Amino acid sequence: MAVMEITEFPERVLKEVGAAVEEFDEGLEKLVADMFETMYAEEGVGLAAPQVGLSLRLFVMDCAGIKLVAANPEIVSVEGEQEGEEGCLSVGKIHAPLKRAERARLRAQDVKGEWFEREAEGLAARCFLHETDHCDGTLFIDHLSPLRRDMVKRRFQKMKRWR
Ligand SMILES: [Zn+2]
């Protein structure tokens, strides 16, 4: 297993709609293991393939008691609303308040290619939504108001200069 390098905003791959995962083989198993290792090393709760430079519809998560691999994820339904802060490893973990659905139902394939559905609420639902967005080339900052988005971008640019 190996820790991979995190792709950061504004790299192009983060804006691309990922390609479908079609091969459920040893290569995918190794990639998923590396993604988990990278996510834990970075103290994240979710990590999508574009965040390690791969334009693929794939994410891993371990958040609020839900640990899973999701290939070709889709959000099939959402309900309610939650307030809360959100951040992203690709945007230097800078947090901003972002309203999300309180509950979300995810449909995806596991590492063997088996389809499953899973429901989550609160933080785990937020994670489903955030990571599925990554697979579609959307970052959490894309959901913020232009003013708040600029604030996060400026803080991130500043942070990058200092490291
Ligand atoms: Zn993210």
**From ligand 1's centre to the CA of 130, what distance in Å?**
6
CA of 127 from ligand 1 middle (Å) equals: 9
> Does 94 map to a domain?
yes
Would 1 be classed as within a structural domain? no
Structural domain contains residue 131: yes
Q: How many structural domains are present in the chain?
A: 1
Ligand 1 centroid to residue 131 C-alpha, Å: 6
Supply the CATH number for residue 99's domain: 3.90.45.10
Residues noted as catalytic: 131
CA of 26 from ligand 1 middle (Å) equals 25
24 within some domain = yes
Question: What is the model's pLDDT at position 162?
Answer: 83
Range of the domain at 24: 12-161
The pLDDT, as a whole number, for residue 146 is 97
Residue 139 CA, ligand 1 centroid: distance in Å: 6
How far, in Å, is the centroid of ligand 1 from the Cα of 22? 23
* Beta-strand runs (E) in 5-144: 46-48, 58-63, 66-79, 85-86, 96-97, 103-109, 115-121
Q: How far is the CA of 71 from the centre of ligand 1 (A)?
A: 16
CA triple 110-126-55, angle to 5 deg: 50
Inside any domain, residue 111: yes
Residue 3 covered by a domain: no
Whether residue 102 lies inside any domain: the answer is yes
Q: What is the pLDDT of residue 11?
A: 97
Measured CA to CA, the distance from residue 108 to residue 24 in angstroms comes to 13
Nearest to 77 by CA among 31, 24, 113, 129: 129
How high is the pLDDT of residue 77?
A: 98
User: What is the residue-level pLDDT of the chain in tens, covering all 163 positions?
Assistant: 799 999 999 999 999 999 999 999 999 999 999 999 999 999 999 999 999 999 999 999 999 999 999 999 999 999 999 999 999 999 999 999 999 999 999 999 999 999 999 999 999 999 999 999 999 999 999 999 999 999 999 999 999 888 7
